[in-house]
Amino acid sequence: MNYKSKKFQLVSGDLIPFIGFGTFQIRGEQLIKDVLNWALSAGYRSIDTAAVYGNEHDIGLALKDLLPKYNLKREDIFITSKLSPSDQGDGARDAVVKSIQNLQCTYLDLYLVHWPGVSGIPTDSDVNSKSRAASWKSLIKAKDEGLVRNIGVSNYMVKHLTELLADCGGVKPAVNQVEWHPSCHPYDLKQLCDKEGILLQAYSSLGGTGNKNLLKDATVISIALKLGKSPAQILLCWALQQNVAIIPKARAKERIDANIDLNFVIDDEDMTLLGNRKSERYAWNPNTVQ
């Protein structure tokens, strides 16, 4: 399977690459330009950012210079950004406009509600559900205006997604971006997404930091050695073989190149072995948000 060119058809009919380039914690005008230069050269055509990442402006500057370098147009690139939890509510449409201005483009391909809660609001407050419902209505307006082609969510668990689908204004979320790796793979969530035609997109594919980094896991290393691949490639391919999209981030050219070079197959036995782990989240836990 050549995942480098594989795409998923969203509920809108638009196509999104299965492998995107993540930019979380990558900041600085020159660094952003360097990594995006290497990413475009390697074949990435999807870029993932968020308002809270603080790098939209630098991504916009970089793309303005880099797209002509690779004979690319705006429509050749799939750009995703996300709503800050501090902007939940009726003002979500205005947040889309701000991201568009920062990225120096005229529309976004995908815009996600980044978190099911609201900044500064207790997780057990019903303000959270009311605010995310208002956000969705506001994002539908942005979609109708052509500001964004697709809208979706991030960190939505089954309860949040079920709530949204029951009152989505006729517009299903196109994507649900969640923590997904061998130690965190809520299959009930994937089953719901598959049933509704929603693409599940993984973040934190390599696990956490320190001793929770799955790159150092003995099983991952053993399978990597057997296949002649890096531990990172094994973890990324593990998600892809389940039809879960990925957005790996990297700052070094060799890792950027390796993260999209995933044309191999992990056998069923090793796929099961990788997934048979104690369930553990390494990022935040959305289940706490009512």
Residue 260 lies in a domain: no
- Quick check: is 182 in a domain? yes
Domain that holds residue 177: 14-207+243-250
Q: 9-48: per-residue pLDDT in tens?
A: 999 999 999 999 999 999 999 999 999 999 999 999 999 9
What CATH number did the domain enclosing 32 receive? 3.20.20.100
List the binding residues for substrate. 114
pTM for this predicted structure: 0.97
- Convert the pLDDT of each residue in 169-218 to its tens digit: 999 999 999 999 999 999 999 999 999 999 999 999 999 776 678 999 99
Q: Which of 3, 44, 53, 156 is catalytic?
A: 53
Residue 162 falls within a domain, yes or no? yes
| pLDDT at site 213 | 86
What rounded mean pLDDT belongs to the chain?
96
- Split into its structural domains, the chain has a count of 1
Is the pLDDT at 2 greater than 90? The verdict is: no
pLDDT at 212: 72
Task: State the binding site.
Answer: 114
- Is 53 a residue of the active site? yes
pLDDT score for 254: 98
Q: Does the residue 261 lie in any domain? A: no
**Tell me, what's the pLDDT at 268?**
97
pLDDT of res. 278: 81
Is 163 inside a domain boundary? yes
pLDDT tens-place string over residues 130-157: 999 999 999 999 999 999 999 999 999 9
Q: Please state, for a pLDDT cut of 70, what percent of the chain lies above it.
A: 99
DSSP for the chain? --TTT-EEE-TTS-EEESB-EE-TT--SHHHHHHHHHHHHHHT--EEE--GGGT-HHHHHHHHHHHHHHTT--GGGSEEEEEE-GGG-STTHHHHHHHHHHHHTSS-BSEEEE--SS-TTS-TT-THHHHHHHHHHHHHHHHHHTTSBS-EEEES--HHHHHHHHHTSTT---SEEEEE-BTTB--HHHHHHHHHHTPEEEEE-TTB-SGGGBGGG-HHHHHHHHHHT--HHHHHHHHHHTTT-EE----SSHHHHHHTT-------HHHHHHHH-S----SS--GGG--
Question: What pLDDT shows up at residue 258?
Answer: 98
- The answer to whether position 185 is within a domain reads yes
Q: If you average pLDDT over residues 206-234, what whole number do you get?
A: 92
Does 163 have pLDDT greater than 80?
yes
What pLDDT sits at residue 284? 84
